Structure 1
């Protein structure tokens, strides 16, 4: 297993019982809170289930709640994690991973909630939520997080209108822009996408966390909070592809690994639109989740719904963006993908061995953009790295293509800082790693030195 603890020079994973500023809170408090909200949401929808499915819907609602209530008790009382039984396509991979964890601990019993890695048990809880729903037809495809994602989208309307208006303004003379002007717009929209990652419902335990004002107005004030900014390394990858493409060849193929639905997804679509319109990219391959995940992560339904809502908006520039995005999907310039690996607990350094088909797909990219905190945790194996360890070293051999991580800090892992930078931040703000106040734009190419 590529992600084994105890390898030379590789620190231990963050534990579920780690007493840092975030992880222990995750297992002992925030995860039960999320479970309780899921149970309440399913219960509140029982009339809708009855209307759609009759008594079978009520039976399914009660069945799902019973399983989730048992899960909450297991979590709070440090019971062993249990094998999955729902028969979904990823079930065997999950159960094999549990056996790996058991072998690492050297126990005869399966690992328990508090004795496992933080990343594993957090992902496991969300997968068990989906199992509880899947085992109770006819509500097997119900998304208990959908209402929150929809609310986040509509409560961010002013901000969405602002960035759509900006994008459409750029479109008007985009073919006449100089390289300097192209770079200026790229920097703005990259940072808009970066700070869009603050809108994360899993961190707020499902509480409202939308973007109310135009993000463009605050970029200057937020710039000092970008702890690592590798934009100058990302730009040549795109620009060199654009120049090399000429009139015949295609520009860069970009893979965009999504995080949250709602406002953040809009910021990602706006950036992707700009990359295509400016000929910095010829195709964008979006990757999202195949299951409702981490409260607000993007699924295919969220992706399609967002474009449909944008297209139908009673705002000229939003609607124009929606029309253009629909056409990108229709002609293949944009495409959406999901893969079971994105909702497994595996560190990304395991991908080549455990999901070689996905790894091979990523290798075709000229640039991969990873959004958000969970992707960063998986990129860096969610371990107790020293803050000055290089981003490349923390990737532990995961180099399918040049990659860029856009992330606001919400977990106790961060690499690639300058000597003393972490200590200075800790002295000024003990919660700097978990508040979402700070961010990074980190780039890595396999050609870089550690």
Structure 2
């Protein structure tokens, strides 16, 4: 935040940029595999039946989840790139999803799609976490939502300033799309071109707000940033990516593992929400009785190593 008080060119200096860029470039093989999968899917997406689309939706959701492992804050600033093809690893990773509310997400969005008239919209908001490979997985998810008509508009929220190591800023968002657009790989380039077009046409909207870098838990948002809260209330679904967003959702308290997610949100309910995170902090709610204790007995540091993940939903069922 200090640099923002200076004049150009130092006013938007990002001390973490080199590490973010390194993460992106070292993950190229995985990015190619992911973009190729998406472009293959786009060729047949209109012909998929409901179960096939649901399976593809779940697959891309899981890719976005495990992309959250690429977090420079977990590594003490050392780059963590994605060097395996996540698409081929999803079945092996399923046992490590501790809370899996993907069915709720499908039910909500598929019902919105069925009820939506020609003039209405379905808006999904994504509160971003890390730039680099994880951001690419989030953009793939956003593209699938649009192409499948599960959503008609996506709002992305990033940070106003370089803040927590690899957090996404507007510069990162535009930079990643520009890098993809100019890739030598045709399907990677196609993704970049398509995503730039989504922005130009207003189907994708990038927003930031200083609240995301203030020291408040999200339950304070209606009082501290009522304009942001009012904006979020217009969404049909809000996806909160990553660990720090989860900590702020739950007030970063040492809750009992079985406390319901709805209760831990402490009144923060602007719209249906879902936390998509790999666990890297000592807070987790909404587990089954005994689940947390069993994990502690077998893997003492399970809360902080990024090995486990959740899709945790709060909203009308």
TM-score for the superposition, normalised by structure 2: 0.98
Q: Aligned partners of 1:293, 1:205: CA distance in 2, in Å?
A: 15
- How many residues are paired up? 316
1:314-329 residue pairs with structure 2 within 5 A? Answer: 314-329=184-199
Distance in 1 between the 2:167 and 2:4 partners? 18
Query: How far apart are the structure 2 equivalents of 1:171 and 1:236?
Result: 22
The answer to whether the aligner puts 1:413 opposite 2:287 as a matched pair is no
What is the correspondence of 1:369-408 to structure 2 with a 5 Å cutoff? 369-408=239-278
Q: Name which of 194, 202, 206 aligns with 2:77.
A: 206
Q: Provide the residue aligned with 1:108 in structure 2.
A: none
1:56-77 Cα offsets, whole Å, 9 max, x none, are xxxxxxxxxxxxxxxxxxxxxx
Give 1 or 2 for the bigger CA radius of gyration: 1
Q: Which has the higher contact order (CA 8 A, sep 6+)?
A: 2
| 1:307 paired residue number | 177
Contact 1:251 1:279 in 2 (8 A): no
Partner of 1:218: 89
Distance in 2, matches of 1:279 and 1:323, equals 19
- TM-superposed CA distance for 1:204, in Å, is 0.9
Q: Which of 41, 45, 61 is residue 190 of structure 1 equivalent to?
A: 61
SS of alignment partner, residue 254 of structure 1: strand
**Superposed CA offset, 1:104-163 (max 9, x none):** xxxxxxxxxxxxxxxxxxxxxxxxxx21x3455452221100000000000000000001
Aligned to 1:150: 21
Secondary structure at the counterpart of residue 11 of structure 2: coil
Of 136, 139, 149, 1:266 maps to 136
Instruction: Determine helix, strand or coil for the equivalent of 1:351.
Output: helix
Aligned counterpart in structure 2 of residue 348 of structure 1, from 214, 218, 237: 218
C-alpha RMSD of the superposition: 1.0
**Equivalent pair of 1:287/1:338 in contact (CA under 8 Å):** yes
Q: CA contact under 8 A between 2:63 and 2:90: conserved in structure 1?
A: yes
Say whether residues 1:441 and 2:311 are aligned partners.
yes
Q: CA deviation at 1:397?
A: 0.6
Mapped pair 1:178 → 2:178: no
> Which one of the candidate residues 174, 180, 202 is aligned to 1:332?
202
Distance in structure 2 (CA, Å) of the matches to 1:170 and 1:270 = 11
* Distance in 1 between residues matched to 2:254 and 2:205, nearest whole Å: 36
